Structure 1
Amino acid sequence: MENKRDGRQRRNISPGDAVRIVLKKDQRTGKLTDGIVKDILTNSSSHPHGIKVRLADGQIGRVQEFIEDA
């Protein structure tokens, strides 16, 4: 079984992480956007739809998965 970090747990996310997020406008389609975490916006320790973050380019969305270094 893969040891994947869970984007619904705040403790798994740090500024500088490479992640894929779903933007508010893309929630219906599930389209993911890649980026680097700048700020963590969710204050609670977990969120069922993913922790909300701001990317380095200013886009805001919920973490769906992590981009691991190959």
Structure 2
Amino acid sequence: MESNKITGSIRNNIKIGSDVEIVQKHHQRSGELTEGTVKRILTKSPKHPHGIKVQLETGEVGRVKWVLA
């Protein structure tokens, strides 16, 4: 099931409870994505070129590549 994807580099696109795909620090080279639900938004700036950093409900932390709409 392919859904619409919104870029994760703009903070306003991400809300607590959003379903997202993130890249964790140790997966940056491979680009492996982890899917989950946003628990906390960690980046304060309105934009970040590599994605807004978030914590998922599972406790995993990474930069948002895609917000699943």
TM-score (norm 2): 0.90
Aligned-pair CA distance for 1:5 = 2.3
Percent identical? 53
Please show how residues 1-70 of structure 1 align to structure 2 within 5 Å.
4-68=5-69
Residues 5-53 of structure 1: CA distance to partner in whole angstroms, max 9, x if unpaired?
2210001100000000000000000000000000000000000000000
Structure 1: 5+ residue stretches without partners: none
Whether the 8 Å contact between 2:14 and 2:67 is mirrored in structure 1 is: no
- Aligned-CA RMSD value: 1.2
TM-score (norm 1): 0.88
What is the distance in 2 between the residues matched to 1:32 and 1:5?
15
Larger RCO (alpha carbons 8 Å, 6+ apart): 2
Structure 2: 5+ residue stretches without partners: none
What is the distance in 2 between the residues matched to 1:4 and 1:61?
17
Aligned length: 66
